[in-house]
Amino acid sequence: MTNDVENAVLVEQIATAAKEALEPKLWDYVVGGAGRESTVARNRQAFDAWGFRRRVLRNIQTVETSTSLLGEELAIPVFLSPIGSLELLHREGARASAQAAGQYGTTFFYGVNSATPMQDVVDAGRGQPIFQLYVRDGRDWWQPLLESVERLGFRALCITVDVPVIGRRDRDIRNHFFALTASDTRRPNLSAAAGFSDPSRLHGLDWDVLKDIVAATRLPVIVKGIQDPADALLAVEAGAAAVYVSNHGGRQLDDEPATLEILPGIVDAVQGRAKVLMDGGITHGIDVVKALALGADAVGVGKMQALALASGGAPGVVRLLQLFEEEIRNTLYQLGVASVGALGRDALHPLSRIDRDRPWIA
């Protein structure tokens, strides 16, 4: 299977291989979402509402896909979103995603819930990963943890704020599947957290705690899970270097807007005072181009990373990123836009809906 995925020529082949590789309950855990999954569907379908406005005769000879994020050079503006449970999906887990990010040339968000020790992830990648924190206990817990994060050379700290409780995911409930349980002792970063005795709850996180964490670290802080322009502004005021627009891939709450729909309002509110990252529903390079045109500085892949890892390990994740790059390049040439940084809202048109199941000729 690994070999097939390494040579995949379409993203769809990676997803198909993952469905074959994964036990059904793990497949459901990855692709499922909160409730009846309208947020998952909306994240994805929001991309269909935008199409391209092409300009012609621009004689573009080369296109530039690279960008920089908090001081790190990324070959494409696509990073690997935090997934704390990669070890359930592939024996190499977070190590493999870190290795893939290093080999391809992007950054990897290492989840605090990971069963892989953070030192291993730093050793596996080439660049500096970003540390994703769920605030599970008070300062006595997070301060020493952040000292290790800084000492090991992580580039930035990402605080996920959209999990006051874990979402009710119908598929997992039906399958009696819970990725993180109180008796799970394989999570090296969590063992000292009192909040670990009830892994479904976060520990009293509010704007003051966020400010305390920003003040306590010298790393730039990314606030992940922002869905409202007012909260984006509060995050900037709290000292965030980046606002990360995310609804957890639709895993937390049903009936939320797509992240692509709320992205432009947040970009307008932030007005360049912080980077704006986003994820949710990105499956192809063409989606990346749309999100950048609507103002994102870089975007993350969650489910597609998980599926590429499950079916192909580190080489599968590298292949996914290469396919994204091919699609981004092709789209930029077609649009007559010479670099990802030059994309703006003028590259897009709102589209009428089409019925993809209707044949073009009867």
Which residues are marked as active site?
248
Strands 298-301 and 156-160: unpaired
The single-letter DSSP state of residue 223 is E
- Confirm or reject binding of residue 30 to ligand FMN (CB under 6 A): yes
Query: Are residues 29 and 339 in contact, defined by beta-carbon separation less than 8 angstroms?
Result: no
Residues 42 and 250 sit within 8 Å (Cβ to Cβ): yes
17 binds ligand FMN (CB under 6 A): no
Selected binder of ligand FMN within 246, 314, 319, 327 (CB under 6 A): 246
Binding part of the chain for ligand FMN, among 61-69, 143-151, 184-192, 296-304 by CB under 6 A, reads 296-304
Site for ligand FMN in 301-320 (CB under 6 A): 301-303, 306
Q: Is residue 290 a contact residue for ligand FMN (CB under 6 A)?
A: no
Q: In angstroms, rounded to a whole number, what is the distance separating the alpha carbons of residues 322 and 117?
A: 28
Range 55-62, long-range pairs (CB < 8 A, 24+ positions): 55/335, 55/336, 56/336, 57/336, 58/336, 58/338, 60/332, 60/333, 60/336, 60/337, 60/338, 62/338
Q: Which of 11, 161, 282, 307 binds ligand FMN (CB under 6 A)?
A: 282
Nearest CB to ligand FMN, comparing residues 81 and 189? 81
Distance CA(335)–CA(316), nearest Å, equals 29
Sheet containing 298-301: which strands, arranged edge to edge?
A: 78-80, 298-301, 275-279, 242-245, 221-226, 156-160, 130-133, 109-111
The binder of ligand FMN chosen from 83, 118, 276, 307 (CB under 6 A): 83
Residue nearest to ligand FMN (CB): 302
Binding positions for ligand FMN, 90-119, rule CB under 6 A: 111, 113
| Distance in Å, CB of 187 to ligand FMN, minimum | 11
Q: Tell me whether residue 130 or residue 335 sits nearer to ligand FMN (CB atom).
A: 130
In this complex, which beta carbon is closest to ligand FMN, that of residue 83 or of residue 263? 83
Out of 93, 129, 280, 295, name the contact with ligand FMN by CB under 6 A: 280
* Terminal Cα distance for the chain, rounded: 38
Name which of 288 and 301 has its Cβ closer to ligand FMN: 301
Output the furthest CA–CA distance in the chain (Å, rounded): 68
Residues interacting with ligand FMN, by CB under 6 A?
30, 43, 81-85, 111, 113, 132, 160, 224, 246, 248-249, 251, 279-282, 300-303, 306
